[in-house]
Chain A
Amino acid sequence: MEFLAQTWQVWLVVLLLLLGYGFGRLAERRHYRSILRREAEMADLIVVTSKTLPESLANGTKAPETALVMGSVVISVDYFKRFVARLRMIFGGRVHTYESLVDRARREALLRMQAEARKLGARMIFNTRFETSSISKGGGDAVGSVEVLAYGTAIVP
């Protein structure tokens, strides 16, 4: 009976791993496709981290309007990725599965910020900042997810 209970748990973990691997990969691929498409659309909206406006913009005949814009997203890690990461934490080194997660979140946040700026008719975004935080510190089986906020100042010509 005890043996049965143990095998049941093993099967559950295997099932969750398969679910995580399958759906996680699917979601990631779809997300990357959508990110690449939208990044191409937003390519003409320049985002920079510099604080000062170029001379031509700052001292023009008409000073540009500015607006604070931001975009944020919360992305959850899947079971498979977390499993691989836990294994990785034994040996150390690059955690590839988490790298792609944070990369997706950051690019998505940036795109949402750009979308907001575009709505205002902005041409550029200055002094862009990123902020990343983990929603709950992932203790044990807690929800492991990352929030990324991107914000900056949109310059409306």
Chain B
Amino acid sequence: MITTTLETVPGRAIREHLGIVQGSTVRAKHIGRDIAASFKNIVGGELKGYSELLSDARQEAFERMIAQAQAKGANAVLNVRFTTSSVAQGASEILAYGSAVVVE
């Protein structure tokens, strides 16, 4: 499975367009992390716990998108985009989406 933020795969023609595929996940931070983060909030700096949490979540959203693309019989996802939105206080939704295609 090829994933790219470009609109084409260099050197390979697009055989078939299979439509948009997406994967998303909603994650909440647990309270322990929140307490550690509130200390960091006084002195500033990177919140490693949140960084990890979000990259895990993004990985999951990404994998769900890939799974959907595979189910459609695609071998590449073009023009991949990520968005993040906070649905509620302390929870964020991560969405990955792109165009599933069949390339040579």
List residues of A whose CB falls within 8 A of some B CB: 16, 19-20, 23-24, 27-28, 31, 51-53, 57-58, 62-64, 66-68, 70, 72-79, 81, 101, 108, 126-129, 131, 133-137, 139, 142-145, 147, 149, 151-153, 155
Contact = CB atoms under 8 A, between A and B. Distances in A.
A19 B39 CA distance: 11
A79 B41 contact: yes
Interface of B: 2-7, 9-12, 34, 37-38, 40-48, 50-51, 54-55, 58, 80-86, 89-90, 92
Contacts of B42: 16, 19-20, 23, 78-79
B4 A131 contact: no
A27 B10 contact: no
Contact of B44 (A24, A51, A127): A24
A78 B58 contact: no
Chain A contact residues, majority secondary structure: mixed
Contacts, number: 137
Given A53-B10, A127-B5, 20 more contacts: A27-B44, A51-B7, A66-B10, A68-B3, A74-B54, A75-B46, A75-B47, A76-B44, A76-B45, A78-B44, A79-B43, A126-B5, A128-B5, A131-B84, A133-B85, A136-B89, A136-B90, A145-B47, A147-B51, A149-B58
